[in-house]
Amino acid sequence: MHRYILKRLLMLIPVLLCVAFVIFAFMDMASGDPVYSVAGPDATPEELAQLREEMGLNGSLLERYARYIWDLLHGDLGVSYVSKRDVMATYMERLPNTLKLASVTMVVAVGISVPLGIVAAVNHNSLKDTISMILALVGLSMPNFWLGLLLIILFSLKLGWFPSGGNTGFSSIVLPAFSIGVGLAALMARTTRSSMLDVIRQDYIRMARAKGVPERKVIRKHALKNALIPIITIFGVQFSNVLGGSVLAETVFAWPGVGRLVVDAIDQRDIPTVTGALVMTTLLVSIVNLLVDIIYAYVDPRIKGQYIK
């Protein structure tokens, strides 16, 4: 198992270097030559050359990339063109908000999806099952930013229960978390249902029923526990998706997270901030994915067995 973790960690390094290169190259294409916009129209060629060196824009793409990675290893993501602040410091300020939103979103998603999936599986092919799965399909097809707008109209503007944006305490996280969580819940409800259906048909469930275990206990103790593995996997994948994909909800609800940082930086053509935030988010998502794989291997002895061989 330790060897597996080490191998996965080592494999992560080249992938991350390439990911950083892809993002770096895209952003380099996007920026054109930012020296002109910073220096203004009256700058002399000497001033431009000096500024280019100060901004770290001299040299070929590969040289600049190598410098970027070297700085990144030292925790330096460069300085924002707009705010002149350290990008890493700005990112770290925003990250807790995104993590908080992602965590509450996952609570919402699990809170809706697991009961819905269980009800659908236990009442297989009944009206309850059909309604649950139609709801899941609708949730899956609804763009989360539109749902966010609808939640604002109903719960903020009409009923006044929650604020429509910003970060003003726990009440302000409820609507953005629901706007992202409903779509995830739809996906997870489908997984829970099919995983429960797989387990419910197993012999040990029939055995538990035969020896007179109450149905509630059969579902909770025997079925759900064994159906959890695919649910945990999809939970992990979705958690990293939320970390990387909360851009829209953060924009709709003016939530001061990393997603909004990226969108604002793109508007202002602040390339170091966009590049830094994208690279760091990808790094974070990759680490979360790796952790999920490791947890998965620990939870399921069969998977652990594969690596012991």
Please report where in the chains the tokens 């709709």 appear, as a residue. Answer: 252
Counting every residue written for the chain, the total comes to 309
- Residue of 243, 261, 292, 297 that binds another protein (CB under 8 A): 243
- Residue of 96, 143, 166, 305 that binds another protein (CB under 8 A): 143
Report the sign of the C-alpha dihedral through residues 191, 122, 183, 179, in that order: negative
Residues 144/249, Cβ–Cβ less than 8 Å: yes
- Residue of 89, 153, 207, 299 that binds another protein (CB under 8 A): 153
Q: Which is nearer to another protein, 111 or 143 (CB)?
A: 143
Shortest distance in whole angstroms from residue 54 CB to another protein: 24
- 167 near another protein, judged by CB under 8 A: no
- 124 near another protein, judged by CB under 8 A: yes
Contact letters (x/-) for another protein, 22-61, by CB under 8 A?
A: xx--xx-xx-------------------------------
d(CA 106, CA 189): 13
User: What's the one-letter identity of residue 188?
Assistant: M
Residues 289/305, Cβ–Cβ less than 8 Å: no
Q: Which is nearer to another protein, 49 or 153 (CB)?
A: 153
- 150 near another protein, judged by CB under 8 A: yes
- Residue of 102, 118, 119, 252 that binds another protein (CB under 8 A): 252
Shortest distance in whole angstroms from residue 31 CB to another protein: 9
d(CA 155, CA 150): 8
Q: Which is nearer to another protein, 88 or 183 (CB)?
A: 183
- Residue of 3, 10, 14, 169 that binds another protein (CB under 8 A): 14
* Coil/strand/helix, residue 59: coil
Residues 264-293 that bind another protein (CB under 8 A): 266-267, 274, 278, 281-282, 285-286, 289
User: What's the one-letter identity of residue 111?
Assistant: G
Shortest distance in whole angstroms from residue 179 CB to another protein: 12
Shortest distance in whole angstroms from residue 262 CB to another protein: 7
d(CA 274, CA 212): 60
- 157 near another protein, judged by CB under 8 A: yes
Residues 109/181, Cβ–Cβ less than 8 Å: yes
Report the sign of the C-alpha dihedral through residues 220, 199, 234, 151, in that order: negative
Number of residues that bind another protein (CB under 8 A): 47
- Residue of 4, 5, 19, 51 that binds another protein (CB under 8 A): 19
d(CA 236, CA 285): 10
Shortest distance in whole angstroms from residue 144 CB to another protein: 9
* Coil/strand/helix, residue 166: coil
Please report where in the chains the tokens 């990387």 appear, as a residue. Answer: 244
d(CA 106, CA 129): 23
Measured in degrees and rounded to the nearest 5, phi and psi for residue 270 equal -90, 80
Per CB under 8 A, residues contacting another protein are 14-16, 18-19, 22-23, 26-27, 29-30, 124, 137-138, 140-143, 145-146, 149-150, 152-153, 157, 194, 197, 240-241, 243-245, 247-248, 251-252, 262-263, 266-267, 274, 278, 281-282, 285-286, 289
